[in-house]
């Protein structure tokens, strides 16, 4: 009897073990079946359907999207242990626990995990776990920057992910080797130019930036904004843009200058090959600074996310700005020719300096109440003078100017030097004349062949003018030159 009971117990035990085994088979081990790495613009670095452990192509240095597709629905391991999880990988801590990123490739990966709650800057909207539990997508934003041209390994922490139907079944091991994008090369490597604080535009040497990573350099459309990191250095003329290397399909980017001294590069590329690039030539810049500047850099401000290997720290050109000096400067002009007397509110007064050989322009210091209307005149903030590339300037006198005697001054200049002494011209500002024109009578016979004198009286006295009108010759009116029955006016 005891033997039968024992035999029956063994049968039930065996049946129980078989049932447990059968239930375990119902929940297969989750395996990563597809892994994609996406740049911010949406272009895949890996091909869908490629082996999950395949090496990914170049990634940005701190901003990219990872998608993991599993063969089975998965859930955080702590969702079965009262850890407070909502059974989805959609919080910063869960993603930081799930993914491990280490420097080095494969078995050579070493060092601390670079994805932690402290380094992960992703927010809730950057993370999603599909309704069927099989796909996890993370827009990975790291507060740290990965080294350019470095190899890293992304590892799935299998202790953190289990089958959604059975907490005892961990996901299969998974890892992917990543290589960060190599920094683009800038030609010339250290493009430094010295400007004078004169406000005069100067052409920079051509600047080329080339992609150095495998894959696509620029994919998509966008507008990249470039500017100097000091607002006193402004771009005054957009460059000519050319595509170099071995490009794919593209439209030549269009460059325009903004009102605040930046320039925008609008591009639309569908494919770019390795070591392709963009050449910028003819960029004109000017310094409006009143102090010496050193190491002012031209950098991308925005819109550069589609350019592999470029970030906000990429320097395309460097500017040093220096104040103008009178050391070894040219001599001043010998004289200034032009009006001795001008009137309040008057316009179109042109002054000409006697030319000085070998100079590149002239600096004009205007008297109080004078303004320039010359399209070629550029204000020099450091001195308050106006630069003209030729030896003349046209001015107007404001209606609020005061009567009196003033001095117009001019200095000759080269790029960074200006004559130590100025040539002056004394100018008198007089009241605006109020001329009164009178004739001997308001009517004349057409038979009158003799000239009729025209009298002009200026209030205040002085001033120079010209009489004009139908029938007017010099300072006389000739009625026989007019037509009968019409009214005429004489102007001064």
Higher-confidence position of 335 and 459: 335
Give dist(CA 425, CA 370) in Å, integer.
14
- Report which listed range, 48-57, 202-211, 226-235, 471-480, is most confident: 226-235
Mean pLDDT in the chain?
A: 81
Contact at 8 Å (CB) between 329 and 417? yes
Q: What pLDDT does 82 receive?
A: 45
Q: Domain count of the chain?
A: 4
Domain end call among 162, 180, 198: 180
Q: How confident is the model at residue 225 (pLDDT cuts 50, 70, 90)?
A: very high
CATH number of the CATH domain containing 358: 2.60.40.10
In a domain, 6, yes or no: no
In a domain, 362, yes or no: yes
55 has pLDDT over 70: no
What phi, psi does 10 have (nearest 5°)? -65, -35
**Rounded average pLDDT over 189-209:** 84
Q: How confident is the model at residue 321 (pLDDT cuts 50, 70, 90)?
A: very high
CATH number of the CATH domain containing 31: 2.60.40.1220
Q: Which two tokens stand for residue 99?
A: 């993914």
Enclosing domain of residue 480? 433-492
Higher-confidence position of 459 and 126: 126
Model pLDDT for residues 412-459, shown as the tens digit of each residue = 998 888 999 999 999 999 888 777 888 878 777 777 778 888 788 776
Domain end call among 430, 447, 479: 430
356 has pLDDT over 80: yes
Higher-confidence position of 395 and 266: 395
In a domain, 91, yes or no: yes
Q: Are residues 267 and 385 in the same domain?
A: no
Give dist(CA 308, CA 180) in Å, integer.
10
In a domain, 328, yes or no: no
Q: Are residues 313 and 368 in the same domain?
A: no
Q: Are residues 438 and 290 in the same domain?
A: no
Q: Are residues 148 and 83 in the same domain?
A: yes
Q: Are residues 227 and 144 in the same domain?
A: no
Q: How confident is the model at residue 48 (pLDDT cuts 50, 70, 90)?
A: very low
15 has pLDDT over 70: no
Residues in the chain: 492
Contact at 8 Å (CB) between 242 and 282? no
Q: Are residues 283 and 175 in the same domain?
A: no
Find, among 36, 39, 46, the residue nearest to 310 by Cα. Answer: 39
Q: Are residues 15 and 156 in the same domain?
A: yes
Q: Are residues 199 and 312 in the same domain?
A: yes
The pairing of beta strand 361-365 with beta strand 263-269: unpaired
Q: Are residues 134 and 167 in the same domain?
A: yes
Range 479-488, long-range pairs (CB < 8 A, 24+ positions): 479/444, 479/445, 479/446, 479/448, 479/452, 480/446, 480/447, 480/448, 480/449, 482/446, 484/446
Q: Are residues 154 and 193 in the same domain?
A: no
Domain end call among 430, 454, 471: 430
pTM: 0.56
CATH number of the CATH domain containing 227: 2.60.40
In a domain, 195, yes or no: yes
21 has pLDDT over 50: no
Q: Are residues 145 and 248 in the same domain?
A: no
Q: Are residues 363 and 229 in the same domain?
A: no
Sign of CA dihedral 101, 107, 108, 111: positive
Give dist(CA 370, CA 401) in Å, integer.
8
In a domain, 376, yes or no: yes
């Amino acid at each position: 009897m005891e033997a039968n009971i024992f035999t029956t117990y063994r049968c039930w035990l065996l049946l129980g073990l078989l049932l447990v085994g059968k239930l375990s088979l119902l929940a297969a081990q989750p395996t990563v079946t597809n892994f994609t790495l996406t740049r911010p613009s949406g272009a895949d670095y890996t091909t869908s359907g490629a082996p999950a452990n395949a090496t990914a192509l170049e990634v940005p240095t701190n901003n990219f999207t990872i998608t993991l597709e599993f063969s089975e629905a998965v859930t955080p391991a702590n969702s079965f242990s009262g850890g407070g999880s909502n059974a989805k990988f959609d919080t910063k801590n869960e993603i930081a626990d799930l993914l491990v990123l280490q420097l080095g490739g494969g078995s050579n990966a070493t060092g601390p995990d670079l994805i932690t709650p402290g380094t992960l800057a992703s927010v809730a909207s950057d993370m999603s776990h599909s309704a069927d539990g099989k796909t996890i997508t993370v827009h990975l934003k790291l507060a740290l920057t990965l080294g350019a041209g470095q190899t890293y390994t992304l590892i799935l922490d299998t202790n953190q992910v289990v089958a959604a139907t059975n907490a005892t079944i961990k996901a299969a091991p998974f890892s992917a080797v990543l290589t960060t994008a190599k920094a683009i090369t800038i030609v010339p490597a250290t493009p430094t130019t010295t400007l004078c604080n004169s406000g005069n535009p100067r052409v920079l040497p051509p600047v080329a930036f080339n992609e150095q990573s495998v894959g696509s350099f620029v994919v998509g459309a966008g507008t990249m904004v470039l500017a100097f990191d000091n607002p006193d250095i402004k771009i005054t003329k957009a460059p000519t843009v050319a595509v170099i290397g071995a490009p794919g399909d593209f439209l030549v980017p269009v460059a325009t200058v903004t009102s605040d001294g930046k320039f925008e590069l609008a591009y639309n590329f569908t494919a770019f090959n390795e070591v392709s690039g963009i050449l910028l030539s003819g960029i004109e810049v000017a310094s409006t600074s009143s102090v010496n500047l050193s190491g002012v850099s031209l950098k991308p401000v925005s819109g550069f996310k589609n350019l592999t290997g470029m970030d906000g720290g990429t320097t395309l050109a460097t500017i040093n700005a220096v104040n103008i000096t009178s050391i070894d400067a040219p001599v001043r002009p010998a004289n200034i020719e032009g009006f001795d007397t001008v009137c309040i509110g008057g316009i179109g007064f042109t002054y000409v300096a006697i030319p000085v050989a070998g100079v590149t322009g002239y600096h004009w210091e205007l008297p109080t109440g004078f303004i320039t209307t010359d399209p070629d005149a550029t204000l020099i903030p450091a001195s308050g003078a106006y630069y003209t590339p030729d030896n003349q300037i046209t001015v107007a006198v404001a209606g609020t100017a005061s009567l009196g005697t003033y001095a117009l001054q001019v200095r000759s200049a080269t790029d960074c030097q200006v004559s130590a002494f100025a040539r002056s011209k004394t100018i008198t500002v007089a009241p605006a004349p109020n001329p009164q024109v009178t004739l001997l009578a308001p009517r004349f016979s057409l038979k009158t062949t003799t000239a009729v004198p025209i009298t002009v009286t200026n209030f205040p006295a002085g001033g120079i003018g010209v009489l004009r009108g139908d029938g007017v010759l010099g300072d006389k009116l000739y009625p026989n030159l007019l037509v009968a029955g019409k009214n005429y006016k004489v102007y001064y």
